[in-house]
């Protein structure tokens, strides 16, 4: 689960990680007063959306004077901001965070995350922060420092001090960096975070550190023990279809093509999308039916496909196994077709547990479909049918 | 022979009396797996599926001589269940539970270091030695005994590939699901080592997907030695974005990397034959065996 910048800063503030004074505004006419009450004469006005690279897309404005703050807020609010991470239609800006501008002598990078290959919590840090950190880390692997935290012995102050020195920090700023790392580590464990990233972490002209931008991602699988954090989820940031699918034991991601896809299992779903693309098709979605999905949940998922007006064909690729049976999927599909109507060609590949029964079920319930005996045949039929319909 | 399990493996199930556990363990017994009992705290002394139930793993091991555990415990307490099995020194722990908090798995990883146990999963379909031992939730469908080893991050994709390998009139020595989570037990490298040492495996199929760097680590491992058996790979997710969670938690990347194209390139660079598409994995295995 992603948090907004202002939420992340507020939470980290409780752990003692400093950030500039700020105020959240959702109406342009409140911006000037908000800026004034923060004090100072220049501010950053920042669009609050769940996507990175806002800066380059014009989503972060540096302004002088309360009037300029109001203008920036009115230009951002209600606008769709397109960054390389939002997709082409962008994200609607529903609030802006106004904060005191801070002059930075240097901008650093500091993050805490799960190091997957070691199965440990680790810090990543760099002497230079900025939005191109990932590319620079790939071009120049040495520029990114890595420090694994040994969970059994807790937080190692000496190793943290070493990392602070690696970042070129001295004196007061170095000890502050160690404090920030200790706070991040504590927050990471207590919040069940997957990522907390401060980018940039500014070293001010006065020689102290402050978090200029914070990204925080929480572990969805741990939200059951953090009801307070779960309540921070901004459902408006999610695609409405994706949000609906989550209620039905489905993993769904909207894509931009014209072939609706329903598959069980993440790996087989990814492989089906790849084969569609390789054979000249364009998938409209990634839909992974979770094993415990019921007939009704499959029906709800299939309705999402039937309602998508961009779809010219639907491909169902189910490998029955575990507790998921092909006939359960077929029952769900038939129920959805009865209520919504099926207006495009449907190709069904049902293998594994009760595959034959699934085909019989669909036929008995009058669903018009083309059976396919393998993933290759199913994809070929779907691409051909979608091409015919689109023409 | 095979890796990790055979017909002598004695299996207990943690969370034995749950709905999913009952369903799958009943099928495991029917398959011929030596299931010797279960563990459910508070239900010790009772019987389930005709087998004894114990309060603690240690009790179950002492009474039955179990050598493996199938963990079906719900996500909130699954890590504790795995740690209990590690403390009881069970050689093999197979965890099928999905959605375990990742920091719980970080704790489990520490406990595994230097222990007597190997962990498969979590979020794994399990391990299958055709005709001999089935621990997990995979279908017993088109598998057949043979000499191809399969190691995979995805359950449904494994079923697809088992079918393709069997259709080539080849069979499997063992198929192992390492699971779709970012932090898990055995990885590709561990399984490659085991398959290379197994005299009954002639070829290894590695089924990867976007996210993380495990395919790259497998490639580095293969580059570091003279590879004794052909390795065939497939990596799913060429057409998918890597900044989104595509079903498995492990498909998301929080920091660059993880793209399918890079993984494929890395595996090819290590001499691995990467199947051109998911529809051609069976054929690719046949050709690799012929060329070897």
Question: How many structural domains is chain B composed of?
Answer: 2
Residue B41 forms part of a structural domain: yes
Q: Is the pLDDT of residue B92 over 90?
A: yes
CATH code of the domain containing A1: 3.30.470.20
Residue B87 forms part of a structural domain: yes
Cβ-based neighbours of A128, under 8 Å, separated by 6 or more: A106, A107, A108, A109, A136, A143
CATH code of the domain containing B157: 3.40.50.261
Given A188, A207, A237, the domain boundary residue is A237
Whether residues A145 and A227 share a domain: the answer is yes
- Given its phi and psi angles, is residue A301 left (phi above 0), alpha (psi -120 to 50 degrees) or beta? alpha
Q: pTM of the full predicted structure?
A: 0.94
Residue B94 forms part of a structural domain: yes
Q: Across the interface, do B207 and A352 touch by the CB < 8 Å criterion?
A: no
Q: Dump pLDDT digits (tens) for A332-347.
A: 999 999 999 999 999 9
Q: Dump pLDDT digits (tens) for B242-280.
A: 777 787 877 777 666 789 999 999 999 999 999 999 999
Q: Across the interface, do A277 and B277 touch by the CB < 8 Å criterion?
A: no
Q: What tokens does B170 get?
A: 């080849």
Which residues share a beta bridge with B135? Answer: B127
Whether residues B201 and B99 share a domain: the answer is no
Whether residues A226 and A302 share a domain: the answer is no
In terms of CA atoms, which chain A residue is nearest residue B189?
Answer: A117
In terms of CA atoms, which chain B residue is nearest residue A376?
Answer: B279
CB pairs under 8 A between A and B: 196
Measured between beta carbons, which residues in chain B are less than 8 angstroms from residue A253? 241, 244-246
Residue B5 forms part of a structural domain: no
Task: Please check whether residue B277 touches A, CB under 8 A.
Answer: yes
Residue B238 forms part of a structural domain: yes
Q: Is B248 a catalytic residue?
A: yes
Chain A contact probe: residue of B156, B165, B182 with most A CBs at under 10 A? B156
Whether residues A145 and A120 share a domain: the answer is yes
Q: Dump pLDDT digits (tens) for B21-60.
A: 999 999 999 999 999 999 999 999 999 999 999 999 999 9
Q: Among partner residues A152, A283, A322, which is closest to B239 by beta-carbon distance?
A: A283
- Predicted local confidence at residue A151, as pLDDT: 64
Measured between beta carbons, which residues in chain B are less than 8 angstroms from residue A125? none
Q: Among partner residues A221, A266, A276, which is closest to B75 by beta-carbon distance?
A: A221
Cβ-based neighbours of A265, under 8 Å, separated by 6 or more: A288, A289, A319, B154, B155, B156, B157, B247
Task: Please check whether residue B155 touches A, CB under 8 A.
Answer: yes
Whether residues A14 and A53 share a domain: the answer is no
Task: Please check whether residue B210 touches A, CB under 8 A.
Answer: yes
Whether residues A206 and A124 share a domain: the answer is yes
CATH code of the domain containing A45: 3.30.1490.20
Task: Please check whether residue A262 touches B, CB under 8 A.
Answer: no
Question: How many structural domains is chain A composed of?
Answer: 3
ipTM exceeding 0.90, yes/no: yes
Task: Please check whether residue A288 touches B, CB under 8 A.
Answer: yes
Q: Across the interface, do B76 and A224 touch by the CB < 8 Å criterion?
A: yes
- Predicted local confidence at residue A238, as pLDDT: 81
Q: Dump pLDDT digits (tens) for A6-28.
A: 999 999 999 999 999 999 999 99
Whether residues A254 and A336 share a domain: the answer is yes
Measured between beta carbons, which residues in chain B are less than 8 angstroms from residue A263? 156
- Note which residues in 225-244 of chain A have CB less than 8 A from chain B: 225
- Note which residues in 157-216 of chain A have CB less than 8 A from chain B: 189, 192, 194-195
Q: Dump pLDDT digits (tens) for B193-235.
A: 999 999 999 999 999 999 999 999 999 999 999 999 999 999 9
* Phi, psi of B9, deg, nearest 5: -65, 125
How many angstroms separate the CA atoms of B80 and B75, rounded?
10
Q: Dump pLDDT digits (tens) for A176-227.
A: 999 999 999 999 999 999 999 999 999 999 999 999 999 999 999 999 999 9
Cα–Cα distances in Å, from A288 out to A38, A291, A296?
Answer: 47, 9, 15
- Predicted local confidence at residue B255, as pLDDT: 66
Cα–Cα distances in Å, from B42 out to A184, B54, B71?
Answer: 39, 8, 17
- Domain residues for the domain of B254 are 141-291
Whether residues B148 and B276 share a domain: the answer is yes
Structural contact between residues A367 and A333, judged by C-beta atoms closer than 8 angstroms: yes
* Phi, psi of A91, deg, nearest 5: -125, 140
Whether residues B148 and B70 share a domain: the answer is no
Whether residues A81 and A46 share a domain: the answer is yes
CATH code of the domain containing B108: 3.40.50.720
Q: Is the dihedral of CA A84, A85, A90, A91 positive or negative?
A: negative
Whether residues A126 and A5 share a domain: the answer is yes
CA distance A42 to chain B (A): 32
End-to-end CA distance of chain B: 21
Given A101, A127, A154, the domain boundary residue is A101
| Higher per-residue pLDDT: A152 or A116 | A116
Structural contact between residues B70 and B94, judged by C-beta atoms closer than 8 angstroms: yes
Whether residues B64 and B186 share a domain: the answer is no
Residue B128 forms part of a structural domain: no
- Domain residues for the domain of A307 are 238-390
Whether residues A296 and A319 share a domain: the answer is yes
Chain B contact probe: residue of A119, A134, A218, A267 with most B CBs at under 10 A? A267
Measured between beta carbons, which residues in chain B are less than 8 angstroms from residue A137? 255-256
With vertex at residue A28, the alpha carbon angle to CA A23 and CA A29, rounded to the nearest 5 degrees, is 95
Q: Across the interface, do A265 and B157 touch by the CB < 8 Å criterion?
A: yes
């Amino acid at each position: 689960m992603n948090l907004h910048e202002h939420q992340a800063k507020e939470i980290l503030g409780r752990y003692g990680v400093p950030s500039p004074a700020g105020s959240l505004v959702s109406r342009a006419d409140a911006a000037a007063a908000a800026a004034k009450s923060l004090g100072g004469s220049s501010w950053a006005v920042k669009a609050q959306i769940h996507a990175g690279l806002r800066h380059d897309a014009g989503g972060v404005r540096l302004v002088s004077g309360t009037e300029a703050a109001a203008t920036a807020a009115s230009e951002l609010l209600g606008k769709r901001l397109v960054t390389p991470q939002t997709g082409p239609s962008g994200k609607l800006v529903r609030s802006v965070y106004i904060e005191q501008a801070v002059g930075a002598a240097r901008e650093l990078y500091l993050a805490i995350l799960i190091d997957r290959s070691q199965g440990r919590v680790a810090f990543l840090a760099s002497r230079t922060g900025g939005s191109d950190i990932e590319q620079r880390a790939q071009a120049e692997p040495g520029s990114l420092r890595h420090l694994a935290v040994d969970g059994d012995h807790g937080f190692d102050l000496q190793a943290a001090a070493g990392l602070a020195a690696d970042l070129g920090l001295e004196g007061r700023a170095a000890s502050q960096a160690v404090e920030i790392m200790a706070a991040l580590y504590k927050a990471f464990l207590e919040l069940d975070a997957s990522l907390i990233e401060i980018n940039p972490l500014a070293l001010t002209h006065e020689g102290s550190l402050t978090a200029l931008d914070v990204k925080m991602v929480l572990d969805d699988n741990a939200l059951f023990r953090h009801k307070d954090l779960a309540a921070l989820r901004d459902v408006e940031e999610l695609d409405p279809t994706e949000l609906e699918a989550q209620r039905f034991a489905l993993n769904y991601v909207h894509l931009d093509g014209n072939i609706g896809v329903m598959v069980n299992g993440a790996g087989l779903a990814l492989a089906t999308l790849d084969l569609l693309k390789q054979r000249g098709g364009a998938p409209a979605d990634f839909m992974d039916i979770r094993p415990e999905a019921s007939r009704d949940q499959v029906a709800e998922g299939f309705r999402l496909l039937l309602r998508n007006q961009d779809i010219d064909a639907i491909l169902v690729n189910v490998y029955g196994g575990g507790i998921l049976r092909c006939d359960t999927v077929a029952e769900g599909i038939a129920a959805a077709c009865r209520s919504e109507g099926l207006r495009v060609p449907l190709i069904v590949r049902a293998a594994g547990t009760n595959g034959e029964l699934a085909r019989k079920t669909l036929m008995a319930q009058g669903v018009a479909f083309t059976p396919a005996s393998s993933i290759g045949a199913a994809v070929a039929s779907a691409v051909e049918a979608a091409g015919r319909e689109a023409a | 022979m095979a890796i990790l399990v055979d017909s002598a493996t004695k299996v207990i199930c943690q969370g034995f009396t749950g709905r999913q556990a009952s369903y799958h363990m009943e099928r495991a017994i029917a398959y011929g797996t030596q299931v010797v009992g279960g563990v459910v705290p508070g239900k010790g002394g009772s019987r389930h599926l005709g087998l004894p139930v114990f309060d603690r793993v240690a009790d179950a091991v002492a009474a039955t001589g179990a050598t493996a555990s199938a963990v079906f415990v719900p996500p909130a307490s699954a890590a504790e269940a795995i740690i209990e099995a590690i403390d009881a020194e069970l050689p093999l722990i197979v965890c099928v539970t999905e959605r375990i908090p990742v920091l719980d798995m970080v704790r489990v990883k520490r406990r595994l270091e230097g222990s007597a146990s190997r962990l498969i999963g979590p979020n794994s379909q399990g391990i299958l030695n055709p005709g001999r031992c089935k621990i997990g939730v995979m279908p017993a469908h088109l598998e057949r005994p043979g000499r191809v080893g399969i190691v995979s991050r995805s359950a449904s994709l494994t079923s697809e590939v088992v079918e393709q390998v069997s259709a080539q009139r080849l069979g499997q020595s063992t198929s192992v699901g390492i699971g779709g989570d970012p932090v898990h037990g055995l990885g590709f490298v561990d399984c490659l080592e085991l398959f290379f040492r197994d005299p009954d495996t002639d070829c290894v199929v590695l089924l990867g997907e976007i996210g993380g760097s495990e395919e790259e680590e497998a490639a580095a491992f293969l580059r570091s030695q003279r590879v004794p058996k052909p390795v065939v790979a497939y990596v799913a997710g060429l057409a998918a974005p890597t900044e989104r969670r595509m079903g498995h938690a492990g498909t998301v990347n929080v920091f660059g990397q993880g793209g399918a194209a890079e993984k494929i390139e890395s595996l090819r660079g290590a001499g691995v034959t990467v199947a051109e598409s998911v529809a051609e994995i069976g054929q690719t295995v046949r050709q690799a065996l012929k060329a070897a």
